[in-house]
């Protein structure tokens, strides 16, 4: 097994485990507070499981960068999709969540669908993004922050999968913004929209995911996040940046897309708004 593949597997393990720890800390912070409020979000940073999860996320990102230096992008994406399975198993063990067969099937469908999409991906296209696209990613990050606020305000206890999707789309915006970020000196970046999009979308996605963990099913929120983070940039890449699937692989790519969407919808439909017992949250 190559060092690059080991790094990708480590990234998936760290990211999936970090989500569970962040959920424990986020839910402790939300106890007695209104989920989605600023106090609950700030309180999460005073919980050691949440901070450990953030640290693991950073280590996972570092391992992902190492993998990307040694493996094709599609192969790294396929391995990282397994983070959802790690989160599902971790939720069952740490949060004492009992997943139904339909939910395990949803986890499998998302992982398999995203793996098929990754394996059918071709090379990155030559496009670097027009000025309109670079401005568009900034506007999208602001719009998604507004959408996240509306979900918290009006969706109530069923908001976890929707907030997870918002978080995934924001993380996808980060990916697109990094892709279209021009090579420029630091002074020039002060007027570059995509640079601000990276910061806003990163903070917006982190906040939405934290709120999702406080309000409902961790597995459903993570599935929606993985779906939005993977498919959003893929659509932009194909439509605007010249990315493409491998030769004659379009039917498989469509099948992978449908499987991933069906799995995420299953988790969103059947995911319990589970809350850990006091014993399991300690």
Share of the chain above pLDDT 90, in %: 11
Encode the chain in three state secondary structure.
CCHHHHHHHHHHHHHHHHHHHHHHHHHHHHCCCCCCCHHHHHHHCCCHHHHHHHHHHHHHHHHHHHHHHHCCHHHHHHHHCCHHHHHHHHHHHHCCCCCCHHHHHHHHHHHHHHHHHHHCECCCCCCCCCHHHHHHHHHHHHHHHHHHHHHHHHCHHHCHHHHHHHHHHHHHHHHHHHHHCCCCCHHHHCCCHHHHHHHHHHHHHHHHHHHHHHHCCHHHHHHHHHHHHHHHHHHHHHHHCCCCECCCCHHHHHHHHHHHHHHHHHHHHHCCCCCCCCCCCC
pLDDT at residue 34 tops 90: no
Pick 17 or 71 by higher pLDDT. 17
**pLDDT over 70 at 60, yes or no:** yes
pLDDT grade, residue 14 (50/70/90)?
very high
* Tens of pLDDT, residues 161-209: 889 899 989 988 888 887 788 876 777 778 889 889 989 998 898 889 8
The token pair at 143 is: 């719009």
Please give the pLDDT value at position 122: 64
Query: Do 36 and 158 contact (CB within 8 A), yes or no?
Result: no
Predicted pLDDT of residue 166? 94
Instruction: Give 110-157 pLDDT, tens digit per residue.
Output: 888 877 877 776 655 555 678 889 899 999 999 999 999 898 888 766
125 close to 56: Cβ distance less than 8 angstroms: no
Q: What is the pLDDT of residue 201?
A: 92
What pLDDT is recorded for position 179?
Answer: 77
pLDDT for 279: 42
Summary mean pLDDT of the chain: 78
Q: What is the CB neighbour count within 10 angstroms for residue 71?
A: 19
User: For the whole prediction, is pTM greater than 0.85?
Assistant: no
What average pLDDT does the segment 96-110 reach?
79
Share of the chain above pLDDT 70, in %: 81
Q: Mean pLDDT, to the nearest integer, of 89-95?
A: 77
* Structure confidence at residue 280 (pLDDT): 43
Q: Which range is most confident: 74-78, 99-103, 169-173, 277-281?
A: 169-173
Mean pLDDT of 205-225: 82
For residues 209-227, average pLDDT: 81
pLDDT number for residue 157: 64
Q: Highest mean pLDDT range out of 91-95, 155-159, 264-268? A: 91-95
The confidence score (pLDDT) of residue 278 equals 41
């Amino acid at each position: 097994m190559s060092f690059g593949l080991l790094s990708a597997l480590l990234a998936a393990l760290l990211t999936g485990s970090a989500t569970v720890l962040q959920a424990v800390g986020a839910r402790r912070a939300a106890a007695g507070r209104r989920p989605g409020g600023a106090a609950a979000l700030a309180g999460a940073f005073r919980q050691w499981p949440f901070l450990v999860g953030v640290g693991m996320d950073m280590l996972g990102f570092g391992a992902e960068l190492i993998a990307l230096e040694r493996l094709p992008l599609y192969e790294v994406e396929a391995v990282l999709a397994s983070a959802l399975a790690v989160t599902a198993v971790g939720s069952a063990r740490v949060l004492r969540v009992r997943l139904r067969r339909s939910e395990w099937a949803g986890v499998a469908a998302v992982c398999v669908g995203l793996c098929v999409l990754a394996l059918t991906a071709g090379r990155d296209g030559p496009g670097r993004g027009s000025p309109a696209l670079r401005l568009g990613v900034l506007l999208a990050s602001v719009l998604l922050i507004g959408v996240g606020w509306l979900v918290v305000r009006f969706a109530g206890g069923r908001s976890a999968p929707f907030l997870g999707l918002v978080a995934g789309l924001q993380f996808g915006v980060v990916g697109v913004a990094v892709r279209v970020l021009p090579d420029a000196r630091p002074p020039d970046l002060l007027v570059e929209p995509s640079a601000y999009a990276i910061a806003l979308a990163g903070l917006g996605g982190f906040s939405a995911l934290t709120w999702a963990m406080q309000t409902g099913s961790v597995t459903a929120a993570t599935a929606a996040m993985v779906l939005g983070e993977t498919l959003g940039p893929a659509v932009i890449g194909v439509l605007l940046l010249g990315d493409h699937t491998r030769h004659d692989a379009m039917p498989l790519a469509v099948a992978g897309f449908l499987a991933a969407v069906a799995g995420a919808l299953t988790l969103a439909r059947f995911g319990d708004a589970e809350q850990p017992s006091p014993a399991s949250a300690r």
